């Protein structure tokens, strides 16, 4: 059986789709997947053993200059690749009008998705041949697992979902694996940031741990923040700019990870690394860390500033038996 997945973004949403592939792989011997995903996340599907072909799409970038000749040529090439294969079924796991109208409806195969009452944008359901009722009050991973089970035709397993990507990184573990922690300090929304003073307090508390601290970054302002956090601490490393694959390698080798609510926190969960995620305004119950060794701390009044460095260090001690003062 050959299935096309339409799940384009964001990073967390793409990662949350992986356990559904693992379920299907075990339920249907020989099933193979192609996957339409935003170009920035195109590495992620390649890590799963059931994925054959990744079809990068660039809707976010195309929207900025939709009618230019180069963008038209890119779109034409993408649609040619999309329609080059007849699929046994197409699963739109995005549930948005954008994905349904621009991608799913143009693919060749019976189209499955969530019904009017289940999709994130109900109008998207009008583009599907088969529509499925999926309970909303469950974690995003479980919603996607249920959608795949109903679309392909098997019973959703009762056990926790398996991302099936951790093994991909075992053979390429860093030389200093298990000798450092990673602090994921960067996120997109201001209210989801943990104050820099709190990060520095936590770094100070780590000075007797015997572990180094690694700070990844993506954008220039994140690099500047990492430099400020590291200033004056000789056991803190500001990493060079890394690809997503390289970041995953660093996360896979970490003793533990401290993160704010960001896509890389979900990547940490997918890699089964011990992770403490700090939450403020977002609800971890529906979109939080899903996987083994995942822990959470929510600030009082949904305020990140109300999480103290001492609280985080205490939680880290419990899961890693760190040295104290």
Q: pLDDT tens-digit profile of 97-125? A: 999 999 999 999 999 999 999 999 999 99
pLDDT tens-digit series, residues 230-243: 999 999 999 999 99
Find out whether 108 and 87 touch, Cβ atoms under 8 Å. Answer: yes
Span 255-280, average pLDDT? 96
Domain ranges in the chain are: 2-164, 167-320
Q: Is the pLDDT of residue 288 over 90?
A: no
CA distance 61 to 83: 21
Give the per-residue pLDDT at 196.
Answer: 98
CA distance 105 to 309: 49
Task: Report the CATH fold assignment for 167-320.
Answer: Rossmann fold (3.40.50)
Span 211-223, average pLDDT? 97
pLDDT tens-digit series, residues 145-181: 999 999 999 999 999 999 999 988 877 889 999 999 9
pTM: predicted TM-score of the whole model, two decimal places:
0.93
pLDDT tens-digit series, residues 3-50: 999 999 999 999 999 999 999 999 999 999 999 999 999 999 999 999
Domains 2-164 and 167-320 share a fold: yes
Identify the band that residue 324 occupies on the pLDDT scale cut at 50, 70 and 90: very low
Give the per-residue pLDDT at 287.
Answer: 81
Q: Which residues contact 122 (CB under 8 A, 6 or more apart)?
A: 116
% residues pLDDT > 70 (the chain): 98
Return the structure tokens found at 53: 């072909």
Span 289-308, average pLDDT? 94
Give the per-residue pLDDT at 320.
Answer: 79
Give the per-residue pLDDT at 93.
Answer: 98
Please state the three-class secondary structure of the chain as a single string.
Answer: CEEEEECCCCHHHHHHHHHHHHHHHHHCCCCEEEEEEEHHHCHHHHCCCCEEEEEEECHHHHHHHCCCHHHHHHHHHHHHHHCCCEEEEEEECCCCHHHHHHCHHHCEEEEEEECCCCCCCHHHHHHCCEEECCCCCCCHHHHHHHHHHHHHCCCCCCCCCCCCCHHHHHCCCCCCCCCEEEEECCCCCHHHCCCHHHHHHHHHHCCCCCCEEEECCCCHHHHHHHHHHHCCCCCEEECCCCCHHHHHHHHHCCCEEEEECCHHHHHHHHCCCCEEEEECCCCHHHHCCCCCCEEEEECHHHCHHHCCHHHHHHHHHHHHCCCCC
pLDDT tens-digit series, residues 76-89: 999 999 999 999 99
Identify the band that residue 245 occupies on the pLDDT scale cut at 50, 70 and 90: very high
Task: Report the CATH fold assignment for 2-164.
Answer: Rossmann fold (3.40.50)
Identify the band that residue 283 occupies on the pLDDT scale cut at 50, 70 and 90: confident
Give the per-residue pLDDT at 286.
Answer: 79
CA distance 40 to 16: 16
Find out whether 67 and 47 touch, Cβ atoms under 8 Å. Answer: no
Give the per-residue pLDDT at 322.
Answer: 61
Please state the φ and ψ torsions of residue 74, each to the nearest 5 degrees. -65, -45
Q: Is the pLDDT of residue 321 over 80?
A: no
Q: Is the pLDDT of residue 323 over 70?
A: no
pLDDT tens-digit series, residues 58-74: 999 999 999 999 999 99
pLDDT tens-digit series, residues 133-155: 999 999 999 999 999 999 999 99
Summary mean pLDDT of the chain: 95
The HSE-up count of residue 272 (CA atoms within 13 Å, CB side) is 13
Q: Which residues contact 315 (CB under 8 A, 6 or more apart)?
A: 276, 295, 297
């Amino acid at each position: 059986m050959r299935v096309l997945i339409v799940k384009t973004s964001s990073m967390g949403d793409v990662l949350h789709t992986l356990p559904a592939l693992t379920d299907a792989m075990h339920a249907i011997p020989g099933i193979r997947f192609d996957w339409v995903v935003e170009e920035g996340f195109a590495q992620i599907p390649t890590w799963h053993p059931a994925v054959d072909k990744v079809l990068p799409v660039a809707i976010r970038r195309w929207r900025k200059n939709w009618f230019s000749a180069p963008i038209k040529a890119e779109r034409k090439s993408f649609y040619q690749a999309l329609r080059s294969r007849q699929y046994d079924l197409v699963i739109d796991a995005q549930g948005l009008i954008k994905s349904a109208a621009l991608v799913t409806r143009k693919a060749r195969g019976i189209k499955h998705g969530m019904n009017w009452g289940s999709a994130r944008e109900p109008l998207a359901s009008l583009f599907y041949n088969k529509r499925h009722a999926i309970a909303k009050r469950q974690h995003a991973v479980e919603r996607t697992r249920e959608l795949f089970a109903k679309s392909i035709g098997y019973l959703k397993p009762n056990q926790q979902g398996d991302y099936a990507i951790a093994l991909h990184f075992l053979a390429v573990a860093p030389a200093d694996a298990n000798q450092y922690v990673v602090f994921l300090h960067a996120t997109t929304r201001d209210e989801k940031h943990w104050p820099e003073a709190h990060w520095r307090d936590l770094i100070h508390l780590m000075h007797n741990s015997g572990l180094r601290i690694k700070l990844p970054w993506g954008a220039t302002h994140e690099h500047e923040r990492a430099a400020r956090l590291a200033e004056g601490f000789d056991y803190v490393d500001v990493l060079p700019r890394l690809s997503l694959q390289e970041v995953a390698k660093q996360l896979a080798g970490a003793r533990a990870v401290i993160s704010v609510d960001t896509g890389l926190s979900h990547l940490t969960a997918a890699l089964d690394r011990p992770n403490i995620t700090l939450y403020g305004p977002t609800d971890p119950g529906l979109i939080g860390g899903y996987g083994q060794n995942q822990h959470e701390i929510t600030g009082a009044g949904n305020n990140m500033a109300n999480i103290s460095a001492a609280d985080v260090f205490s939680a880290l001690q419990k899961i890693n038996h760190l040295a104290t003062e």
